[in-house]
Amino acid sequence: MGASRAWDVTRAIALDARPILTAVPNLDQSGRFMSLHFLQSPVQFLKGVGPKRSEALLEAGVVCIHDLLSYYPRRYLDRTSITSIREITVSSEPVTIIGTVITVGVIPNRRGQRFEVVVEDEPGRRIKCVWFQGVQWIARSIEVGHRLALHGKPSRYGGMISFSHPEFDRLDEDGPAIDTGRIIALYPGSASLEKSGLTSRSFRKIIFSLLKERGEELSENLPPQIVDTHQLMEGRVARRAIHFPRSQEELKQAERRLKFEELFFFQMMLARTRSRRADVPGIPIAGGGPLEKRFLSEILPFTLTSAQQNALSEIGSDLKSGRQMNRLLQGDVGSGKTVVAATIALKAIDAGHQVVVMAPTEILSEQHYRSLSSLLEPLGIRVALLLGSTPAAKKREILEDLESGKLKFVVGTHAVIQKGVTFNNLGFCVVDEQHRFGVLQRASLFEKGDNPHMLLMTATPIPRSLALTLYGDLDVSIMKERPPGRQPVHTKMVREKARKSVYADMLKEIQAGRQCYVVYPLVAESEKLDLKDAVSGHELLQEIFQGVSVDLVHGRMKSIEKEEVMARFVSGQSSILVSTTVIEVGVDVGNATFMLVEHAERFGLSQLHQLRGRIGRGSHASTCILMAEYRQTEESRARLKAMEDTEDGFQISEIDMRLRGVGDFFGTKQSGLPAFRLADLLYDQKILVEARKAAFSLVEDDPDSKKDENRPMEAFFETFVLKKGLRLSRIG
Ligand code: ADP
Ligand code: MG
């Protein structure tokens, strides 16, 4: 499992911060402490479990009673939502039926065998269910006469309405207490659970008898005033109702309560991390010094946007606070983050400190270097560029000047955190596109100075609920406004038949002295094929645009070659740049006004948005053409439509998350996003915000949960969140 580093570090910090609970003495002996003890006891000794099943449960992550109670149903069967077979038509909507098994049969076919079951719910009304996989096992678990609940999409197969691979649950033998309730819980299964007979039915049985016999031992694990303020269902009730809801309304309340709890404990962890950080002393930097003043009044060629001013004042008060700053500056491409970083850098330099800017690639570092030195050199400040490829003699000189303090400002890649780099008095670090660095790399920046202030920058907007989870322990400044004078980018999806007129438009731009990007997708598994696409696209364009300089850049090129090609484009020596997606976030060629994205339907929405950010950076109107296939999925049509409709990165990130679901939104293993059991960051934003507020104010009010009313919560947090990581499985 790629449990993320970010997560591990957060957890380590939180663990380290926990108060020492030696004897857990002040807890209400009879109720609360017992309850924890009870929750921790192994499931093996429960009625209906035993050694074989407990092994299968272990595989599913269920070790103790708390795990079992948190093994939440995947779905519910509400008797009111059962369809009768008579009503079923072939449709794309899944339906649930309940019926009795009439016939079963394993039927050999070309590839092996299939298992067919015919189910009837009233005389003569039948449906066929077919399994092509797992035949052996399913054949063993379904017999004539069984009553089954089946859930699937009806289709037509062999002249009969049928389900292929429906989900199924046996309903008989459950006894009145469990199955006649109107809403029946269905549990997530796995091969080994099912092999040891742990069907939904047996989960219901085991949990039912557990709650019946020992439910009294469950007690409230949230502070009572939080339960009150947020009108949450009581913990004990919720833990019963999530498994055995008496009504839809009760189920809804139980879900809300348990989602709240889950999000609350996660936010507790972030709140603790943050409050620990808040104790870290930082270099007090007052600001308002001579360099900063001159920069703002004489050098800066424009007035700051109000978004920039806000960010500056938020950062400014962090610097004054005497505590170390840890702030994330989020702003869409082109929102003007560089100027903000430069102004802060001057505050630090005014106060006698050194500044480092770290970017993830050489291209980006060079670009920062160029824009920062053109902003700062008029003030007599030398900015140095330090890359892995910097010649040894030059490198040595930079390192010496950093150590002596002669050099105040360095920009670079990882090279700036290498062993040999010693700062004289590092006060301010900027990490650009911070999500591309690991936490450890950031940490090694810390070590280069005496708790230098940290500004993390990102041009990758993410939805608020994700930001509160991923960066929930940081302070965040957001710049939504763009500098004035920007022309909007006109975005249009077209089909192959429009290609000729697209090329004609491109030619017009080139004749007007502008430059164009042509982008091809790069999908990992067919890298060669895509590369071929880009290479032949390059050849074609050279043929079509006679006398125009057309370049090609792709990931297989050596980085020195890439840099040369990029440099030609940046300096205007080439007019068309054909590329795979290697054009980096933040590459800034103001003269580029046209982008043609080939196979646009293959790109993710956020990726398209990032690409489009390469144009529309100057004062000329820009065009982005999305060339798409005639045949498209609904989702890809929605993506391209969103691109046509908006340029707002935050809005785009929300749409993207909705289209893909939270899990795939990042698609990266290092995202550090916890996978919650019940809560969904997409749909539960409101609960998230409430839970966060509750957690943060609790930590502020009672940092180590010393107050009596918070002790049971703390004990629970200790045992089930910090030690077990909430049993959150990490995405990736
Ligand atoms: P980001 O790093 O957020 O993508 P930059 O800092 O590179 O954005 O700014 C993009 C462009 O906008 C730069 O050319 C910069 O000079 C210009 N710019 C920044 N702030 C302003 C402003 N307040 N008014 C006008 N232009 C600005
Ligand atoms: Mg930038």
The residue ranking higher by pLDDT, 184 or 729, is 184
Residue 439 is predicted with a pLDDT of 55
Evaluate: CB of 460 within 6 angstroms of ligand 1: no
**CA–CA distance, 391 with 394 (Å, rounded to integer):** 5
Q: Write the pLDDT tens digit of every residue in 688-704.
A: 999 999 999 999 999 98
Tokens 């002790």, located at residue: 711
Is the pLDDT at 210 greater than 70? The verdict is yes
Residue 543 is predicted with a pLDDT of 94
The residue ranking higher by pLDDT, 669 or 596, is 596
- 574, 431: one domain: no
- 526, 634: one domain: yes
28-32, 477-481, 574-578: lowest mean pLDDT where?
A: 28-32
- The CA-CA-CA angle for residues 341, 345, 346, to 5°, reads 125
- 429, 337: one domain: yes
- 432, 562: one domain: no
- Residue 123 phi/psi, 5-degree rounding, is -50, 125
| Cα–ligand 2 centroid distance for 331 (angstroms) | 9
User: Helix, strand, or coil here: 304?
Assistant: coil
Is the pLDDT at 625 greater than 50? The verdict is yes
Residue 346 is predicted with a pLDDT of 97
Atom 25, ligand 1: residue with shortest CA distance: 483
User: Helix, strand, or coil here: 133?
Assistant: coil
Atom of ligand 1 nearest to the CA of 341: 6
Atom 19, ligand 1: residue with shortest CA distance: 336
Residue 383 is predicted with a pLDDT of 97
| Cα–ligand 2 centroid distance for 587 (angstroms) | 8
**CA–CA distance, 22 with 37 (Å, rounded to integer):** 15
- The CA-CA-CA angle for residues 343, 347, 350, to 5°, reads 130
For the chain, how many residues are written?
A: 732
- 512, 443: one domain: no
Assigned domain for 314 exists: yes
**CA–CA distance, 457 with 476 (Å, rounded to integer):** 10
Evaluate: CB of 170 within 6 angstroms of ligand 1: no
Evaluate: CB of 302 within 6 angstroms of ligand 1: yes
Burial of 575 by CB count in 10 Å (0-12 exposed, 13-18 middle, 19+ buried)? buried
**CA–CA distance, 527 with 580 (Å, rounded to integer):** 10
User: How confident is the prediction for the chain on average, in pLDDT?
Assistant: 84
- 206, 300: one domain: no
Evaluate: CB of 277 within 6 angstroms of ligand 1: no
43-52, 280-289, 596-605, 641-650: lowest mean pLDDT where?
A: 43-52
The residue ranking higher by pLDDT, 586 or 588, is 588
Assigned domain for 524 exists: yes
Tell me the average pLDDT across 513-527.
78
Number of domains making up the chain? 4
Q: Which of 647, 671, 701 is the last residue of a domain?
A: 647
Evaluate: CB of 618 within 6 angstroms of ligand 1: no
| Cα–ligand 2 centroid distance for 219 (angstroms) | 52
- 216, 319: one domain: no
Evaluate: CB of 483 within 6 angstroms of ligand 1: yes
Ligand whose nearest atom lies closest to the CA of 368: 2
Assigned domain for 253 exists: no
Q: For residue 41, give the nearest of 730, 728, 731, 719 by alpha carbon.
A: 719
Determine the structural domain holding residue 472 and report its residue range.
290-479
Q: Which tokens belong to 89?
A: 């038509």
Q: Write the pLDDT tens digit of every residue in 393-407.
A: 999 999 999 999 999
Is the pLDDT at 424 greater than 90? The verdict is yes
Atom of ligand 1 nearest to the CA of 588: 7
Assigned domain for 268 exists: no
User: Residue 728 — pLDDT band, cuts 50, 70, 90?
Assistant: very low
Evaluate: CB of 336 within 6 angstroms of ligand 1: yes
| Cα–ligand 1 centroid distance for 505 (angstroms) | 27
The residue ranking higher by pLDDT, 393 or 607, is 393
| Cα–ligand 1 centroid distance for 27 (angstroms) | 57
Evaluate: CB of 331 within 6 angstroms of ligand 1: yes
Residue 229 is predicted with a pLDDT of 96
Neighbours of 256 (CB within 10 A): 21
User: Residue 167 — pLDDT band, cuts 50, 70, 90?
Assistant: confident
Residue 25 is predicted with a pLDDT of 31
Evaluate: CB of 334 within 6 angstroms of ligand 1: yes
- 296, 210: one domain: no
Atom of ligand 1 nearest to the CA of 339: 6
User: Residue 665 — pLDDT band, cuts 50, 70, 90?
Assistant: low
Evaluate: CB of 457 within 6 angstroms of ligand 1: no
Q: Given ligand 1 and candidates 304, 338, 482, which is best to mutate, with the most ligand atoms within 8 Å of its CB? A: 338
- 461, 407: one domain: yes
Domain of 177: which CATH number? 2.40.50.140
| Cα–ligand 2 centroid distance for 336 (angstroms) | 7
Ligand whose nearest atom lies closest to the CA of 333: 1
Domain of 416: which CATH number? 3.40.50.300
Assigned domain for 249 exists: no
- 505, 452: one domain: no
Q: Write the pLDDT tens digit of every residue in 215-264.
A: 888 889 999 999 999 999 999 999 999 999 988 999 999 999 999 999 99
Residue 150 is predicted with a pLDDT of 87
| Cα–ligand 1 centroid distance for 479 (angstroms) | 12
Q: Given ligand 1 and candidates 296, 312, 339, which is best to mutate, with the most ligand atoms within 8 Å of its CB? A: 339
Q: Write the pLDDT tens digit of every residue in 118-150.
A: 999 999 899 999 998 888 888 888 999 988 888
Ligand whose nearest atom lies closest to the CA of 591: 1
Whether this prediction's pTM lies above 0.85 is answered by no
Helix (H) or strand (E) holding 205: helix 200-214
Assigned domain for 686 exists: no
Atom 27, ligand 1: residue with shortest CA distance: 483
At position 220, the amino acid (one-letter code) is E
Evaluate: CB of 614 within 6 angstroms of ligand 1: no
Assigned domain for 725 exists: no
Tell me the average pLDDT across 728-732.
30
Q: Which of 415, 445, 479 is the last residue of a domain?
A: 479
Is the pLDDT at 12 greater than 50? The verdict is no
**CA–CA distance, 591 with 512 (Å, rounded to integer):** 10
- 595, 470: one domain: no
Q: Write the pLDDT tens digit of every residue in 16-40.
A: 433 332 223 333 344 444 567 888 8
Q: Write the pLDDT tens digit of every residue in 359-401.
A: 988 878 988 999 999 999 999 999 999 999 899 999 999 999 9
| Cα–ligand 2 centroid distance for 612 (angstroms) | 14
Residue 425 is predicted with a pLDDT of 94
Tell me the average pLDDT across 551-559.
83
- 207, 298: one domain: no
Assigned domain for 101 exists: yes
Atom 5, ligand 1: residue with shortest CA distance: 336
Helix (H) or strand (E) holding 662: helix 662-666
Q: Which of 243, 277, 311 is the last residue of a domain?
A: 243
